[in-house]
Amino acid sequence: MKKRALISVSDKSGVAEFAQKLAELGFEILSTGGTKKALQAAGVPVIGVSDVTGFPEILEGRVKTLNPMIHGGLLAKFDDPTHKVQLDEHQIQPIQVVCVNLYPFQQTIAKPDVIVEDAIENIDIGGPAMLRASAKNHKYVTVVVDPTDYETVLAQLEETGAVENETKRKLAAKVFRHTAAYDAMIAEYMTQLAGEDTPEKLTVTYELKQSLRYGENPHQKAAFYRKPLGSEFSIANGSQLHGKELSYNNINDADAALQIVKEFSKPAAVAVKHMNPCGVGTGKNVYDAFSKAFAADPVSIFGGIIALNREVDADTAKKLYEIFLEIIIAPSFSEESLTILTGKKNLRLLTIPFDTENKAEKRLTSIEGGLLVQDYDGYRLADADVKVATKREPTEEEWKSLELGWKVVKHVKSNAIVVNNADMTLGVGAGQMNRVGSAQLAIDQAGEAVNGATMASDAFFPMNDTVEAAAKAGITAIIQPGGSIKDADSIKKADEYGIAMVFTGVRHFKH
């Protein structure tokens, strides 16, 4: 049986060397279009697919390999007598090696000025058909979609004259993952183009960023995947400058810290433990902001994750160095700050492109047997229909404080209460089964600083007990969604104590 390899690739890295070696091993090389020209230029003997099919490439190259002379050679069972008779009858030569990768659809739609026509033209048809045919027939055909597999295939062909069955199956599985991901990306693009929010089928694809040592606990396996063309302003697209490998819990906490610090335009620092903020501070510079975040809860910050929205300078680095931290996230680190912080070998330093667009993505949450999908909670106070529900309106300073509390409370696990002033959080109550319990935690943590502070709640007060607790502690203003059937009771209690209370009409549950 004559040995044939079909090569047609968009990514031409290493393909000339691969084809040359196949030719030296006795393979006849078939190719098309640009790949054929590239191989000929490299001195590789090539037969055009049109010479095999007896039919020219037509429709601007849209049709060239969709032909029985090609697909018969890909799908035939080489040891089946019936198939052999039909191949002989139609003078079809089997193809033992297929090397194909697809039109650059992802790269095309990534261009900011891409037009729909260009995107559509970069939807490959013949390539996936050849890949799927070859992968289906992997018992007989070696199919390569990834240039990193060239070396493995050549090594086995050189050693034994054949590719091992286990290798062929692994390559076939990679092909089906590759074509599924390719189609998923096209499906997502076309679904967005059609303006459909809840399609009857949801297809998503992610690429492996790194294997993790374990998951939430050491007995759980885990991995970190990145969304192709996902938000650049994300942990998934961050760069690690120093420190040991990120863990599953590190990544979750780092994402939580980043989402909070994104809320602020002026210098801000966020400290996170177990996906809840334990300290948030703003200031005239990053040093000032971090000093306030640290002061907010100097106990819980131990072993925490810090996110800063300004470059880390030497003074801030010295203060950060004094504390045991897991991760520091920032747009950049000065040379001097890197010298200081890299003195701790395990401290992870991450840079995130803060100057890129904050691309709001759908939030996917897996449950056993299913998936929940929702919009990102990007609702801002400026978007809300804010109403002062009490007789007294907040002062200018209280408004600033209420705004900071509202930015933070939506990132705290429900039931969520934040006590703060205009520059920093003072107490955070998270994840309690009743709202007054969360409020009491936040008040207790704030200590003496609670007097004259404000309070933010992620959801309405079902009773007036939270207002009562806030008033007795010295809280002067409250921001909450409102909407309880007992709002009047809470308003009456606030008026009784002279508290200014603002309703936003917007709930910020975070489970």
Among the residues of 54-138, which ranges form H helices? 68-75, 81-90, 105-109, 116-121, 126-136
User: Alpha-carbon distance 376 to 476, whole Å?
Assistant: 31
- Other C-beta atoms closer than 10 Å to the C-beta of 241 total 16
Can you give the length of the chain in residues?
511
57-73 per-residue burial string, b: 16 or more CB within 10 A, e: under 16? beeeeeebbebebbbbb
DSSP calls for 434-483? SHHHHHHHHHHHHGGGGTT-EEEESS--SSTHHHHHHHHHT--EEEE---
- CA distances from residue 136 to 74, 139, 169, 175, 176 in whole angstroms, order as listed: 9, 8, 10, 10, 9
Three-state secondary-structure class, residue 419: strand
User: Alpha-carbon distance 294 to 299, whole Å?
Assistant: 9
423 close to 398: Cβ distance less than 8 angstroms:
no
Phi/psi at 481 (5° precision): -70, -35
DSSP state of 350: E
∠ CA(409), CA(412), CA(417), 5° rounding? 55
Cβ partners under 8 Å of residue 430, min gap 6? 276, 412, 413, 415, 416, 438, 441
User: Alpha-carbon distance 343 to 353, whole Å?
Assistant: 24
Cβ partners under 8 Å of residue 85, min gap 6? none
Catalytic residues: 136, 274
CA dihedral (152, 153, 159, 163) positive or negative: positive
- CA distances from residue 260 to 126, 255, 270 in whole angstroms, order as listed: 46, 9, 7
Cis peptide bond upstream of 137, omega within 30: no
Strand partners, 278: none
Stated as kind and residue range, the H or E segment containing 315 is: helix 314-321
Return the residue matching tokens 């404000």. Answer: 454
